[in-house]
A and B are shown apart, each in its own frame.
Chain A
Amino acid sequence: MNPFATLARLVDEAPRRALLLLAALVAVLLVAPVALDRYLLSVFFLIFWFATVGQAWNIMMGFCGQLSLGHALYVGLGGYVGALLWVKFGISPAIAIVPAMLVAMAFGAVIGWLGFRFGIEGVYFALLTIAFAEVARIGFDNWSFVGGAAGFFIPVSAAASPVNLRGGPMLFYYVALAMMIIAFILCAALRRSRLGHAWLAVREDAEAARALGIDVFRAKMAAVVISAAMTAVAGVVYGFYQNNLFPSQTFDIARSIEMILAPIIGGLGTLFGPILGAFILTPLGQILIALVEKIAGRAIPGVNLVFYGAALMVIIWFTPNGVWPWLKKKLGIPEGRE
């Protein structure tokens, strides 16, 4: 798969108008930081970040039909590998994303192998993914080398350089924006590839897929491993953005749930769904947090999750397939296209 040829084809297949609109949107996002303050930059960071991990999770659930409720595991693994290598060994996160991806891929492969080899499907597979995230949480809680429950901190002063992900919100804005765009292009290419079609076939009907020559086990494994790797990259960035990692937050199931809301609301299995979902959900959540702080005088943890739950119900009630498929119909884009 030649990346340039694929990119050229993606551009070629898209309708002219949609392409112009997309280019305009990207241009706006590129220059937007001049008009944004620190707070808004951080909100945009969160939007881009959730769009990226949503895209990664969407590979497993939206493309291949495998429900993971433990994606925080890969975020945490990525975050810890990146932070550890930087703090303890001075290895730049730009390089550390490779081992971070490899570690996450290895864990993904173990989970996938256990699930798919032994026919653990649907809800039971989801439970397996939760179990792994929980075990990781407890493990990191008790692992003193990485700070245990007291958390692991990345010093702010150390060799301030963008390559080492040391910088202000502006830096993270662009890093996350790049991440979101790359994740989108990657998923668009995957969606059109042989593997992507195999995933869709497995999602729709594994038995029929098998009869058409698709190795279902391999297709599912590829989905888990690629999704884990993408999520781990986002994990590295998140660790450096936060400057700290606490096992109880990083591997929390609430985090896993938060990560999957954007693609569900935006539209499962679509390319724009995770992005659209993140653009809808994250700002609303932030507004709510700010409002509650104003009214109650203090932050109430988890209030945004309650709100997300309500938003999820409302949106699924009106557009059961997500916002993007509905919007697509409104914009007059034919069914078979993105």
Chain B
Amino acid sequence: MTTLLDVRGVTKRFRGLTAVDNVSLTVTEGEIFAVIGPNGAGKTTLFNMIAGAMNPDAGSVTFAGTRADGVPPHELCRRGLARTFQIVRPFPELTVIENATIGAMMRAPDMEAARTKAGEVLRQLDLWDRREAKAKSLTLPDRKRLECARALATGPRLLLLDEVMAGLRPTEVDRIVAILREINRSGVTILLIEHVMRATMALAGRIHVLHHGATIAEGTPEEVTRHPKVLESYLGAEAL
């Protein structure tokens, strides 16, 4: 088992507020790793530092053996790290296939190959039938899957998913869980940041729990749900 992503003691402050406080985690090649935590726990900030959208104030991020903090997002993407956005950002005026083709351009030798790759990814994410529709006309579940498709089309080693299941109905969540499992089986490591507990428990091999920017627990879903601190701060009275 080789380490694909190594986050060491990253900290991010916004003026007085410490959004992420000395967080360390390691994602090994081939696993599905989840970061969970209540609203405002610092999940998205942590995510942005890993994805190159923000620089940490302290600590380091290492991806596939090389330093990744401070590296611009397009360069990280080239190295094999692809992300989605919590608030989806499709290219609204372009068609679904064009959206995916733009992702696929990165590793494709020519546009023909990019289109072929885009088609494969769209089939994988159940979007093939919608390929000629403009992205702006898609429903939210479709947009969420397009967001994944586009990231996946870049041919990543690590897929960073920022709350792809938030706002979806349970049946839609089940659908995307099945798709993500399939993607993982094909050899893509997944790091997901989630809010939807049920799906996360079903999907992730290991879970890292954040609260107020700091780590409070890490382990398998069973270990995490039994952890007293997690019960107290995250699951709260509902779980107790």
Q: Choose, from B61-69, B102-110, B178-186, B194-202, the stretch at the interface.
A: B102-110
A-B pairs with lowest CB-CB distance, top 7: A213-B77, A204-B91, A213-B106, A208-B89, A210-B73, A336-B95, A201-B102
Complex contact A198–B73 (CB within 8 A): no
Complex contact A197–B77 (CB within 8 A): no
Q: How many angstroms between the C-alpha atoms of A307 and B101 in the bound complex?
A: 42
What distance in Å separates the Cβ of A63 from its nearest Cβ neighbour in chain B? Answer: 12
What distance in Å separates the Cβ of B157 from its nearest Cβ neighbour in chain A? Answer: 13
Complex contact B132–A200 (CB within 8 A): no
Bitwise, A203-239 to B at CB < 8 A (1) or not (0) is 0110111111111100000000000000000000000
What distance in Å separates the Cβ of A43 from its nearest Cβ neighbour in chain B? Answer: 34
Q: Residue A192 at the B interface, CB < 8 A?
A: yes
Q: A-contacting residues of B (Cβ < 8 Å)?
A: 51, 53, 72-74, 77-78, 82-83, 85, 89-95, 97-98, 101-103, 105-106, 110-111, 114, 132, 134, 150-151, 154
Complex contact A208–B132 (CB within 8 A): no
Q: How many angstroms between the C-alpha atoms of A200 and B82 in the bound complex?
A: 19
Q: How many angstroms between the C-alpha atoms of A334 and B102 in the bound complex?
A: 21
B150: chain A residues at CB < 8 Å are 208, 212
Choice from A198, A212, A335 contacting B134 with Cβ under 8 Å: A335
A205: chain B residues at CB < 8 Å are 89-91
What distance in Å separates the Cβ of B102 from its nearest Cβ neighbour in chain A? Answer: 5
Q: What total of A-B pairs shows CB separation below 8 Å?
A: 79
Q: Residue A17 at the B interface, CB < 8 A?
A: no
A192: chain B residues at CB < 8 Å are 111
Main secondary structure of the interface of A (DSSP, over half): helix
A sample of 15 more A-B contacts (CB under 8 A), given A212-B82, A213-B106, is: A192-B111, A194-B110, A201-B91, A204-B94, A205-B90, A207-B85, A208-B89, A211-B74, A212-B74, A212-B106, A212-B150, A213-B74, A214-B74, A214-B105, A335-B132
Complex contact A207–B89 (CB within 8 A): yes
B93: chain A residues at CB < 8 Å are 204, 269
Choice from B85, B91, B111, B151 contacting A200 with Cβ under 8 Å: B91
Complex contact B77–A200 (CB within 8 A): no
Q: A210-B74, A211-B82 in contact; A200/B89 too (CB < 8 A)?
A: no
A194: chain B residues at CB < 8 Å are 105, 110-111, 114
Q: Residue A286 at the B interface, CB < 8 A?
A: no
B105: chain A residues at CB < 8 Å are 194, 197-198, 213-214
Bitwise, A168-199 to B at CB < 8 A (1) or not (0) is 00000000000000000000000011100110
Q: A192-B111, A194-B111, A200-B91 in contact; A211/B85 too (CB < 8 A)?
A: yes
Q: How many angstroms between the C-alpha atoms of A198 and B98 in the bound complex?
A: 11
Name 29 interchain pairs, CB-CB below 8 A, sorted by A: A192-B111, A193-B111, A194-B105, A197-B102, A197-B111, A200-B94, A200-B98, A200-B102, A204-B91, A204-B92, A204-B94, A205-B90, A207-B53, A208-B90, A208-B150, A211-B51, A211-B74, A211-B77, A211-B83, A211-B85, A212-B82, A212-B151, A213-B78, A213-B106, A214-B74, A216-B74, A334-B132, A336-B95, A336-B97
B111: chain A residues at CB < 8 Å are 192-194, 197
Q: How many angstroms between the C-alpha atoms of A212 and B106 in the bound complex?
A: 8
User: Interface range on chain A: under 10, 10 to 19, 20 to 34, or 35 or more?
Assistant: 20 to 34
What distance in Å separates the Cβ of B25 from its nearest Cβ neighbour in chain A? Answer: 21
Q: How many angstroms between the C-alpha atoms of A66 and B101 in the bound complex?
A: 22
Complex contact B132–A198 (CB within 8 A): no
What distance in Å separates the Cβ of B127 from its nearest Cβ neighbour in chain A? Answer: 15
For A198, A208, A212, A335, the residue with the greatest tally of chain B CB atoms inside 10 Å of its CB is A212
Q: A197-B102, A197-B111, A200-B94 in contact; A336/B85 too (CB < 8 A)?
A: no
B134: chain A residues at CB < 8 Å are 335
A216: chain B residues at CB < 8 Å are 74
Choice from B91, B106, B114 contacting A208 with Cβ under 8 Å: B91
Q: How many angstroms between the C-alpha atoms of A294 and B197 in the bound complex?
A: 78
A200: chain B residues at CB < 8 Å are 91, 94, 98, 102
